[in-house]
Structure 1
Amino acid sequence: MRKILLMCMMSLGAMASAQIFVNEGFEGSSLPTGWASTTTGTGTTSTPSGYGVEAGTVCEGSKAVYKNIYKLVYTGWNLTYTSAVSNGTALDYSFKYLAKPYSSTNVVEGTVAADYSIDGGVTWVDLLAPVVLNSPTNPIPCTTVSGTIPAGVIPAGADFRFRLKSTSSTTADFYMGFDDVKLSQVLSNPPVCTTVSAPAAAATAISVTPTITWASAAYTTGYTLNLGTTPGGTDVINGLDVGNVTSYVVPAANTLNYSTQYYVTVIPKNNIGSATGCTSSSFTTRAIPCPSVSAPASSATAVSLTPAFTWSAVTGATGYKLSIGTTAGGTDILNNSDLGNVLTYTYAQAPTLNYNTKYYYTLNSYSASSNSTSCSERNFTTKTLCPSVTAPASSATGVSITPTFTWTANTDATGYRISIGTTAGATDILNNVDVGNVLTYVYNGTALNYNTKYFYTVNAYNGAIASIGCSERSFTTKTLCPSVTAPASSATGVSVTPTFTWTANTDATGYRISIGTTAGATNVLNNVDVGNVLTYTLGAPLAYGVKYFYTINAYNATATSVGCTERSFTTLTLCPTVSAPVSNAAGVSLTPTFTWAAVNNVTGYRISIGTTSGGTDVLNSFDVGNVLTYTLPTPLNNSTQYYYTIVGYIGTQVSTGCSERSFFTICTSTNVPYTLDFENVTIPLLPGCSTAINSGTGNVWTSEAGYAPFDTTGKVLRYKWSTSAAANTWFFTQGINLVAGTSYTIKYKYANSGTTYAEKLKVAYGTSADVSGMTNPIADYPNIVDGVIHQESLTFTPPTSGVYYFGFQAYSITNRFYLMVDDINIDLTASLATSENVKAKNDIKVYPNPFADVLNISDVSNVRSISVVDISGKLVKTFDKPESTLHLGGLNSGMYLVILNMKDGSKQTIKAIKK
C-alpha cells in the first residue's frame, strides 16, 4: 500500500468542516508539510538521516523515515506533526516504530515514546510512555502503537501537536525508524478529486500491463477506478474498488491491447461519499514487441542455401512477417512476407540463394491492432563453393618457379579453375583456367621469375554456378640471390680494400657487385660482373672511416636476381682514441694538454676547439703534425665550457665522424664578501663556478623565475618537484677564501611554495664541491611547511685557512619538493665600530681602530713577533722585532688580522680595520 500524507484543509468554503486527517508512510525524499524533525545532543543536522530501509524491513510500502542516533552526538530525536484544523471530535491514532544497529559491532539501546499537545507544545500528554529498547545484535521489527483520544479533548481549532520521540544511551549506535502514522477525526465531508500521475497524461509506448498511480486526496478512505477506450469510459474496468491505495497494476490476465489509446479515471471516496466531477487521463499502449530470433544466428556463416528461420512467440501476436535482402535494409528476396502464426520457416523458393553471399533479414510480429517496429536486422552468409587450398601455403616463400597447386574437394563442386597474377587481383599469368574436376595442378606455362611474389586463386563451379569470393593467396618464388658472408652487414673497421665473399646459388652462373656511398647508390661499383666466383677483392682503395652500401646479385642464362639484400660496412677509422682532457672534465687548466693514442698508418692529426658544440672559434682544424700530445699555448677563459675534436689524416684523406668532447676550465676562488642572488643567471643554468649534484632519484637544483613567496619578477635557486621521488640533491657555491679562527656570517633566504608537503633543507660547508666534502654543518630544516619566506643569519668559524664551498641540500625519502633558496651572502662577522679598541686576553690593546697608517700596540714586552694577514689569508706584513708602533701605510683599505706570537708559545689574534 502506498502511504503518503493526507492532511490538508478543504476549500475556503468548507473550513468549518475541516478535521485532522493524516495517513503518512514517508515514501518521499523529504518530510511532508506539517512535519518537523529536531534533535538533542552535539550533532549539527536535525533533519532525518534518510528515507528507506536503514532502520530495518519497512512496515508497508518501500520506505520508512529514520535517524542515526548514537552516544552523546544525537542523544535524542523528535518527529513532530502540527495542525490547527481540529473539529473537536475523537481522534484515532496509530504509528509503527522499528530500529536496527548501525553495524554488526553496534547495539540498539535507548527508548521510544509518543505524546501530544493542544497548546502549541507548552504541555504534553503521553500516548506511549517511554519503552526501553535493548537489542544488542538483532533489529527491532515494526511495532504498532494505536489508540483514541476522546471527543472534546482536542478542541475545535486547537494548536495540536503529535510527537514521536526516541533516545540513545551513551554506548548505543543505531537507526531509529517510524512508519505508517495515521491520525483521523470523524469525517464530515466527501473528498475532492485526485490527479493521475502515471502513466503521464497523453503518454505513449506504455506497457500493456501498466501501473496506474495517483496523488492521495484529503479525507479519503478509498478509491474507485474506471478504465475505458473513450473519455470517461468503463468498457475495460468499471467501478473497481481498489481500496485506500494510490496505485493499481493491470493484471496479466487482463492485458490491454497494443497500440491502443485508453482513458483512466480515479474517484476518491470516504464514508460521506465520493468525489464528483473527476476527469479522466489518457495514455497509449506500446506497439507489439519484436520476436526473439534464434536462427540463423546474427552474422552466422556457412548457412544452407535453404535456411531455416526460428523465433520465440510474442504474447498477443497473431502472426509474423519476414523480409530478406542482399543489402542492409534490402527486401529484394522477400518483402515483408506474411508467414502466419508460426514459429519456424524454411526458405526454399525462387530466387535461389547464392553460395558465399551475405543476406540481411528482419522478422516482425503483428496483431489486430499493432505491428512491431524497429526490429533488429540480422545477417547470415551462405556456405561457400570455394575449395580449401593446401599448397602453396599462403605467403609461402622459396617456391619453385614451376609450382604445384593442391586443394581438397568441395562436395558441391564439379570442377575447378585457377588464376595467377603478378599483383593482387591480377590474372596476367593464368586467367581463370579450367583444370577440370581434379585436386592438383602443376604449372608448366611461361617460366615464373625468381624471388617474385605471385597471387593466385582456386575457384570451383557447379554447372553454371561459380564460386565467388574465394580467398586470394600469395607465394614468392625461390631467390637467385647468393648468401653473402663478408663483409658482415653493418661491420665496422673494414679494410679500405675489402674482400667480398658469398656462398653459391645452385641456379646461378655468375655474380655482379654494386657499391655506393648511400643506400641504393652505385657510384663506386655499378653492377660489375665478377664471373662465376665466390670471392672478390676490391682493387682501388675506399676512403677511411666511411660507410658504404653494397649488393651482390646472381644471374643465369635466362634470369637475373632481383631484390637481393643490400648490406653496409664502415671502413677503418682515422679517429684517434683521446685520453685527455676527459669528456666533461671540470677544473681543466687554461692551457690544457691534449693527448691521444696513435692510429696505424696516420701521418698527422688536427685539432678543432670551440665555445659551442661543433664550433671552431678557438682552433679550426689546426694541424699539430704526427704527434700524440699538444699543449695549447694561448690561455683559455676562466670557468668556461669548451668543445673539441681531434682527427687523424693520411695524405689528403681526413677522418670523419670523430667524437666531439667537452671540458670546463678551472674556476678561481673568490674572497668575502661573497653574494649570490641568481638575478644575472640564464634560466635554467646555474651561476658561474657553481655546481649541482643529484645522488637520489629526484630532479636537481636549477635557477628559475621567481616563485611565491619570493617576488615574481626575480630569480631563485629552486629544487623542482618530482612525483614521490626520493631526493639527495646538493647545490654548491663557488670556492671562497676563508681564514682559520675568523668568525664569518652567512645569510640566506629559504621557503617552500605552499603548505601541502614538508620540505627539507640542510646547509653545510667544506673543502671540496661534492657531497663528501660537506663536513661542517651549519643548519638543518627538516620540516618547512608554512609556505612563507625565512631569512637566516648564522655565524661560523672555519677550522683551517683555505678555499671552502658552501652546499645547500634538498633531502627526502618520500616528500615532494618546491624548495627555494635565494640571496646568499657570506661576510665577516660584524665589523669593529670606529671607536672600538680590541683587547687581547692579557689586556694588550691596539689603537686607533680603524687606523690610517700607524697602528699602536699597548704592550709588546711579551710579544715575540707580529704577523699581519689580509682577509683572504695572505700574509702581507711581518715584524720579527716588534715595536709598539706598527707602520702599515702601504696596505690597502680593508680588514686585517694582527697575529701576536707570544713568547710563551701562544697566539693572540686582533681584528683591525685600515681606513
Structure 2
Amino acid sequence: MKKVFIFLIVLLLSFTGLNAQNDCATAVPITALPFSSGTQTTCGSVNDYPAGSFCNASYGGGEDYVYSLAITGAPVNLKFTMGGGATWKIVSVHSACPPTAGNCIGSIAASSGSGIGYISFPTNGTYYVYVDTWPAPACGEFTLNIETAPPAPNCATLTAPANATNVTTSTPTLSWTPSATGPVPTGYKVYLGTTNPPTALVTTVAAPNISYTPTVPLLYNTTYYWYVVPTIDGNDAAGCNTTIWSFTTPAPPAPPTNDECSTAVMVTANAGSSCASPVAGTTLSATSSGIPVGTCTGNPDDDVWYSFMATSATHNIVLSNVASVGTTSSTSLYLQVFSGGCAGLTSLICDTSATTPTALTGLTIGNIYYIRVYNSNAGSTAYANTFNICVITPVVPANDNCDAAVSLTPSTTSTCATPTSGTTLAATNSGLAVAPCTGTADDDVWYSFVATATSHLVALSNVVSVGTGTNSTSLYLQAFSGACGSLTSILCDTTPASPMQLTGLTVGNTYYLRVYNSNGAGYANSFNICVTLAPTPPANDNCSSPIALTPGGTFAQNAITTTNLGATTDGTPQSCQTNADNNVWYSVVVPASGSITIATGPVAGSLMTDTVINVFSGSCGTLTAVPGGCDDDNGVDAYSTVNLTGQTPGSTLLISVFKWNGGTPQDGQFQLSAYDGSLLGTVDPVAEVKDVKVYPNPFTDYVNFADAKDLKVISVLDMSGRLVKTIANPGRQINLSELKAGLYILKLDYKDGTVKTVKAIKK
C-alpha cells in the first residue's frame, strides 16, 4: 500500500511539473474556435505578471496561465465563458506582452467562480489571454471556453415619459418596448444622467421587465437624459445611444405645515406602551427654524415640529418607518425634546438613533413639551425623510420590586417546560446594592421560586434589546436567599447564554432572582426565564473518576462520543483560556513513542460547539500542567487539539475538557480522541470497506457517494490522523475543494451507529 501511495504522489507531482504555461514565450496557442480548455490549473505556473498588469487592477496577484490567440477577419466579437474551482479569477486579454493597462482590450472577472463576457478584437494579429486567480489562494482550477459571439439584440423603442416633457414626480418610471425582430435580450442597460449623452449606467434591468424606476429621488427642477441598451449576457446592442430622450423633474414640494415651532403638530400621548395612532411626518422641503441645536449635533436645516401634553412623569418618543425621500439616501434622523414655549425653549434631551425610543423622565403632568425632528445632514431636499412619530407611556413591570416578585414553578426535569416572559423596560432601581455582583441594576425586575431539589438551573433565553440605548443583550442575573428586606446574595451570572447553576439549596425554601441589564439608563431587555432541575452530573465530573481513553493511530480509530451535560466547574487552573466552565475528566496512558495528540470534535446536532482542553501530569490534588497541554481553538472549527511530545511512555495523563463560556455554546455531546501515528501499525484502522463506493477517486473538488442513505456525519482525516473537517447530514456529494493534495481518510458515521472508512486521494 505504501508503494502505491508513493507512486500516486510521484505521479501527481509529475503532472504538476508539466504545467509550465507561465509566460508569453510558453503560451498555449489557441488554434481554432470554438475553444474549450477543459479543467486546468494556474498552480505551478508562477506569478510572472503581478497585480496591476491586467485590465482590472484588483486582480493579478496570483499565478498566471497564458494562451495566445491569432485573430483574422477583424473586427470580431468573441464570447468568453470561465468556470472551474477557483472562486476569484480573471480572464484578461491584451494586444501585447507583457500585459499592461495600456494594451488591454477587455476582460471578464468573477468573484463567484464563473463568468460570461464579450470582447471585441479591433484588428488582426496575435493577442494574449491571461488567466489569473486572486486573492488568496493564489492559484486554482479554471475552465475557459471561447467562441464567436452570437448576434447582439436590436435596440429598444423608448416609450415613457414622452421625450422633452415635464414629469410630476422625482421618481418617474422609464419604460420601453423591445424590438420585434432579432435575438431576445436577457436584460436592458439603463443610462441616465444630467449630461447629453448620459454616461452613467444606473442599472441593468433583467428581462422580461421593460421599465425602471429610480430608487432614490432625482434632483428637483432638473433636466435628465436617458437611453436603453438591450443586452444578451453582456453582448450589447449597437448604436442605441443615438436615440436619447429627456424629461424635466418638478419643482420641490412646499415646506410641511409644521415647519416652525409655532405650527407644531400636537401628538396625543398613548396611555400604554404600544402606539395606537402614529402620526405621519416628513422633513422634505422643510426649512431651518433658526433655533440652535445647543448641546445636540447635526444640521437642523430641515427641522419639523411636534408637541405633546405629558400625562405621566415618564414618556417614550418612538420614530418608526423611517425612509429616505431625498436625492441622497440617508436615514440619519435626529430628535430633540424641549420644555417651555416656542419663544423660550429649553433643550431636555437629544437622540441620534432613530431606531430606538427616546426615554423622557421627570416630566410634569399637564405641561406641553416640544419635539424637533430633522435629518442630521445639510440640504432639505438632498437629505430628507418620511417617518411616523408616537408618544407612549411605558408601563413599569409589575415585578419591579422584590416584594412583587413573580413566582416561578421549577420544572420537574432538566428541560424547561413553560418559560416565563419578562422585561426590564421601564423598570426602576430597587435600591438594593449590587455587590458582590457587578453592573448597574437600575432596571432590575424580580422573580422567586421554591426549591424542589438541592440544585437548580436558572436559564435566560430569547434575550432581545428593547431599550433606548445602544443595542445590548448584557443581561445579568443575581440569586438571593432570605426574604425581601434581608436578602443574601448567593450567586451572580453575567453570561445569559449559559444557565446559572445553584447548588446547596434547601428543599422548600424560597429563593429570589434579580434580572437587570448591566448598563445604565436607556438599556433594557425582554427575555424568557425558567427554573429547572439540574442534570445529574456525569460520572467523570471530578478528577478522581476520569474516563480512560484508548489511544489509536488516528482520531477516528478510538474516538468516543462523550458529554459535559450536567457537569460542574471544579476550579482547575487553566493556562490558555480562563473563560471556560463545566469541565469533565479523562485519562490516557502515553504510548511507547512518548507522543500523543488529544483532540475534540463535533457531534451532529449537539449544542457543544466550543471546547478547551487542559492536560496534567501527577494525581488529583497535586496536578502539574503539562507544557503545551492547553488549547482552545486549534482544532476543527472551535474545537481543541493538543500535540504532546517527549512524554514518559507508560505514564498517565489527566485531561480536563471545558466548555468555552464566552459566547453561545452550551453543554452537550462532543467527540474526544487520543492518538499517535506510531500506533497505526498495531491495527489498520483505515482498511478499505468494500461496500462503500466513492467517485471520482482520485478527486479534484467533489467526492460522490453511490449510496448516502442514512449517513449522519462524515469526518475527514489526514494521514497523521488529524481531523481536518466534519460534514453533518451530508448528501450524495461533498465539497472538499479546500483540501491540499494528498491521501485522506473519510470516516462515515451512519444513523444506526455503523462506522465505515474509505481512503480518497485529492489531486
Q: TM-score normalised by the shorter chain: which range applies?
A: under 0.3
**TM-score normalised by length of structure 2:** 0.21
Could you say which structure has the larger radius of gyration? 1
More strand by share: 1
**TM-score normalised by length of structure 1:** 0.18
